[in-house]
Amino acid sequence: MKFPCQKCAACCRQVGKTVVAAKIAIENQETEQVASRTKDGNTLYAPVSTINPILPILYALEAFPYDFDELGCCDKLNKDTNLCTVYNRRPGVCRVSWVWSKFFSKIGKLDYYAMNLKSCHKLQDRLKLKS
C-alpha cells in the first residue's frame, strides 16, 4: 500500500520550518549531557544524541538539499500544480515509506501512515487548506 498523499503540498510549503527546527534540536541535544553509572561506580557522560531514537531523522532533515523561501516553502515545489519538480530525485525525508522503513519500521506501516495523515491535516489546517 502506498501512502495516500492528497497532493496538497502542505508539507512542501512548510519544509523549511521543519529543517530549521531539526537543526535547532540537534544543536540543543548535542550540548546536553546525560550521566550514567558504570558497574564499577564511575560516572560516564554521553551526549543525548547517542541515546535519542529520533536523532537520525533530525540529521536527515538537517541535510535537506534544497533551498526554501522565507515562509519555508521548498524551492522545488511548482506552486501552480502542487507537484515536486524533482519528484524522482526528492530527498528521503520527502518519502513517507522511506522514512517508515529507515526509522519507524517497528510501528506497523498502516499505523505510521495514519500518524502521518494526522500531521498532514494539522499542516493543512495551519495553511487553511481543505483536507
Kindly state the DSSP code that residue 74 receives in the 8-state scheme: B
Burial of 80 by CB count in 10 Å (0-12 exposed, 13-18 middle, 19+ buried)? exposed
pTM over 0.75: no
Mean pLDDT score, 58-64: 78
Q: Please report the pLDDT score of residue 48 as a whole number.
A: 46
Q: Please report the pLDDT score of residue 16 as a whole number.
A: 85
Contact 20, 61 (CB under 8 A): no
Q: Please report the pLDDT score of residue 82 as a whole number.
A: 92
Mean pLDDT score, 44-72: 70
Query: Residue 47 above 50 pLDDT?
Result: no
Kindly state the DSSP code that residue 129 receives in the 8-state scheme: -
Q: Please report the pLDDT score of residue 51 as a whole number.
A: 47
Highest mean pLDDT among 13-17, 18-22, 42-46, 82-86: 82-86
The Cα–Cα gap between 45 and 79 comes to 47
Burial of 86 by CB count in 10 Å (0-12 exposed, 13-18 middle, 19+ buried)? middle
Q: Please report the pLDDT score of residue 30 as a whole number.
A: 54
Mean pLDDT score, 65-83: 93
Contact 36, 127 (CB under 8 A): no
